[in-house]
Amino acid sequence: MSDRFDPARADIRWQAAWDEAQCFRADDNSPKPRSYVLEMFPYPSGRIHIGHVRNYTMGDVLARYKRMRGHEVLHPMGWDAFGMPAENAAMGKGVHPGGWTRENIANMKAQLKRLGFALDWSREIATCEPEYYGHEQALFLDLYEHGLVYRKESAVNWDPVDQTVLANEQVIDGRGWRSGALVERRKLSQWFLKITDFADELLEGLGSLDKWPEKVRTMQENWIGKSQGMQFRFDLSNGEQLEVYTTRPDTIFGASFVAVAADHPVAQSVAMTNCDAAKFIDLCKQGGTTAAELETAEKLGFDTGIGAKHPITGEYLPVFIANFVLMDYGTGAIMAVPGHDQRDFEFATKYGLPISRVIAASADEAGKPFDGEAEAGDGICVNSGFIDGMPVAEGKAAVIARAEAEGWGEGKTVWRLRDWGVSRQRYWGTPIPFIHCEVCGVVPVPKKSLPVTLPEDVDFSVPGNPLARHPTWKHADCPQCGKPARRETDTLDTFVDSSWYFLRFASQPDDKPFDPAQIAKWLPVEQYIGGIEHAILHLLYARFWTRALARIGKIEVKEPFGSLFTQGMVTHETYTINRPPTEEEKRVFGWTDEAAHESITQYLSPNEIERRGEQVFEKATGRPVKVGRVIKMSKSKKNVVDPDEIVATYGADAIRWFMLSDSPPERDLPWSEAGIEGCARFVQRLWRLFGQFDASAEGEDKAVDRKAHQTVAAVAEDIESLGFNKAVARIYELAGVIEKAAPSASRSEAIRKLLLLVSPMMPHLAEEAYATFGEGLVANAMWPEVDPSLLVEDEVTIAIQVNGKLRDTEVVAKGLDKGSLEAVAVANAKVQAILSGATPKKVIVVPDRLVNIVA
RNA sequence: GCGGACGUGGCGGAAUGGUAGACGCAGCGGACUUAAAAUCCGCUUGGGUAUCCCAGUGCGGGUUCGAGUCCCGCCGUCCGCACCA
């Protein structure tokens, strides 16, 4: 065995050996217990990001570990290959989205291979290939046949200059990212999936997901947003009725005005005759469509002059059109209670409307003024007629009961969850398989004609949807009447692609999306791993899609992901230097010489800096560099590192080890050059240790045996709970113990165990060393057995406290009874010194842990 | 704005309500070496009148024999918000 482990040679050698032996190919017919380990598949942006390395290393360790425990493991990989970046590349660089994407996939696949992941590449899928999206179209038609797909009008961000629909991320401060034009909300007829039909199920289902993080379940619960409230009607002064919904019927006596959304029919009809109202509605249409934008915008309103008769007091309340009322939630109209809703409070303050208290902590506080903000909390009803004195919950029920008795309203459950709009006015996505016929209306493409494929010859020289302006593609004959008709030119949201890919991984027949029998065998995914940023949308859509397929009888499984883990981001320091502006910049930005002394802050990449002791300098110029905050790696801040370069310098095992070390996997992991060097040193340290394996060594070393068995048991637990950083710490400890131990059979056996323990984490090093043992591939080895009798210690160190403060420790036999422990503690010299003859008031004894003497 | 999380040495972190700082990184000292690298050994929360004592887990309160952990109120940071993936 050579003294140094050479990753450059070993990585390639063992990756080839695994390929050759097809170690990681999942056998659909295996009799072994199954484990489906899945990491969220990547968008093929071109290069693997270090965050991917972290994600896939975690999954890989688990997959390899499960194999060692005798499981048949499905660990697949694919590409979420549709989406905007490919179109942006097409517009920016003049390349075809398909060519660009496929090239990226080839590059990233090679990068993943260099990291030595135990993936079943025979099941690789790319969502942009007709072999995948054709099946998606078929599933979409199945949902359509079962009434789960429909069309309705919905708002999009419209760029009036580029004449195109913008994604939310393309709207910056209310303006289009390319044109700079003020964005408008415009309505288009679009395709929707009836996720709201499943709102109850999706909410209920969360209860069974006990292996999901609590926070993700809470976020989904809030997102679905079930609320029980009251829907009721105001009689308007113009003779019409206005239906409103409220979650707080208990505050009805505090209503001081009524507000409707800008696109509410009442607002529209006012606008017909009142041009100020029409102008106001136009004003409301400015800006983007995101909730954050709508809710942080200044509260604006327009008094329609209409009065709404309060159903209990009979008083007339003014009706406003308000920009903070959402048409999509409830009825698009609200009763506003400024005292107990912050938005209403701000609005009332601005427009001088009454703010009255109807909830208070107690009856005596009925007259208490507000402290500059609404009070949304609990309490009892005050100034509220027949519900005075009732707690909030009781007040709600009483008001609903009265409304129902008098016929002007009723209790109603309302969901925050909206139906899923899947139409995208873009090229690089799954074509929606429908045809618009003037005679027959909207007609599905017959399944035998699937897939509807994207045309290759498209023009990205102007903004907008290339499908819509393609000269021939959209012309198709109506499948029903045969007359010339028009193809749907919208494509599907890419979240649809990622809502069923885990099913296709488990089974991929040519003639249908999947084989239900195989789905039943592999699903649910035993462990799903990905970023927290997918906590709501992707995970909710995938749950919905799975349930929808179950409801229409395509599969049995209802929840796709049995256990979910959300990993943290990889972060890095930022480096900046200040430099004076160039002549060019002075000219372009119009800086005068006086202003030009203000220097420009420029980011540097980790490659462009060097450390000399504590200080950091720019390599090229030697100027001092300012070290900034540790933040998420991003291209704009240049604080990125390239996994390929790391692998080339330190080897795959070192970067894998770094990804698992130190930070708990759910938290952020700060990348550091020093850290990766430490990992590379540990790889070599293990190599030297493995080289000391001596099958002929004799003699027993109980302490080493004990440590080895304890570590095997603990690391197994840590891996199963994805506590990789804890497993890493234990492996360091075991390595330290073995290094200090004298040669013995126990020591050699401990070295063998250590090798097996690290093999899921550093598979190349482990193979290289295991090869010298002559026992085949470690990838096919079994996890070491644990002797339970070696797990327990016979002595323990207990803490001796006086008044909860540590004063000493004592080593005692494990399991010593309370009385003896108390005697040991009281006899302790330091305790005696502190007590100085006094009798303890009380003694608390926790066996094997501590004794606390209360003096 | 709404929803969700997080906060412990110089840094990443460990700690079923029971010895705070395991383990790693960085740093310092030493051994080996002509020298360097590599490797090995030791030290490393702060303060003090230093074999000992005091303080200490973002801040302020509380529960408890005992709180990093539980409760209440702040402060700070991060993530999501439906057309980024």
Calculate the angstrom distance between C1' of B75 and CA of A708.
46
Average pLDDT on A161-186 reads 84
Q: Are strands A795-802 and A850-854 parallel, antiparallel or unpaired?
A: parallel
Nearest nucleotide over every DNA/RNA strand to the A611 CA, judged by C1': B26
Q: Are A809 and A799 in contact (CB under 8 A)?
A: yes
How far apart are alpha carbons A568 and A43 in whole angstroms? 18
Q: Of A351, A381, A373, A185, which Cα lies nearest the Cα of A258?
A: A351
Predicted confidence band of residue A117 (pLDDT cuts 50, 70, 90): very high
Give, as ranges, the nucleotides of chain B with any atom within 7 Å of a protein CB.
Answer: 1-6, 11-16, 18-20, 22-26, 38-41, 53-54, 65-67, 78-85
**Angle in degrees, CA A334, A340, A342, rounded to 5:** 80
Peptide bond into A624 cis (omega under 30): no
Q: A106-110, A190-194, A849-853: which range is least confident on average? A: A849-853
Q: Are A450 and A142 in contact (CB under 8 A)?
A: no
Residue nearest to nucleotide B26 (CA to C1'): A674
Nearest nucleotide over every DNA/RNA strand to the A532 CA, judged by C1': B79
Which residues, including other chains, have CB under 8 Å from residue A582's CB and lie 6 or more apart? none
Paired tokens of A773: 């043992």
Average pLDDT on A512-532 reads 94
The H-assigned helical ranges of A248-367 are: 265-273, 275-284, 291-296, 342-351
Average pLDDT on A678-694 reads 91
Model pTM score: 0.89
Calculate the angstrom distance between C1' of B60 and CA of A86.
53
Calculate the angstrom distance between C1' of B81 and CA of A313.
37
Calculate the angstrom distance between C1' of B41 and CA of A500.
57
Residue nearest to nucleotide B22 (CA to C1'): A729
Q: Are A649 and A673 in contact (CB under 8 A)?
A: no
Q: What is the pLDDT of residues A588-636, one digit of tens each?
A: 656 665 554 456 667 777 777 776 655 677 777 777 777 776 777 777 6
Nearest nucleotide over every DNA/RNA strand to the A537 CA, judged by C1': B82
Calculate the angstrom distance between C1' of B56 and CA of A172.
46
Tell me: is residue A285 an annotated ligand-binding position.
no
Nearest nucleotide over every DNA/RNA strand to the A290 CA, judged by C1': B81
Q: What is the pLDDT of residues A2-45, one digit of tens each?
A: 778 999 999 999 999 999 999 999 999 999 999 999 999 999 98
Predicted confidence band of residue A310 (pLDDT cuts 50, 70, 90): very high
ipTM of the complex: 0.88
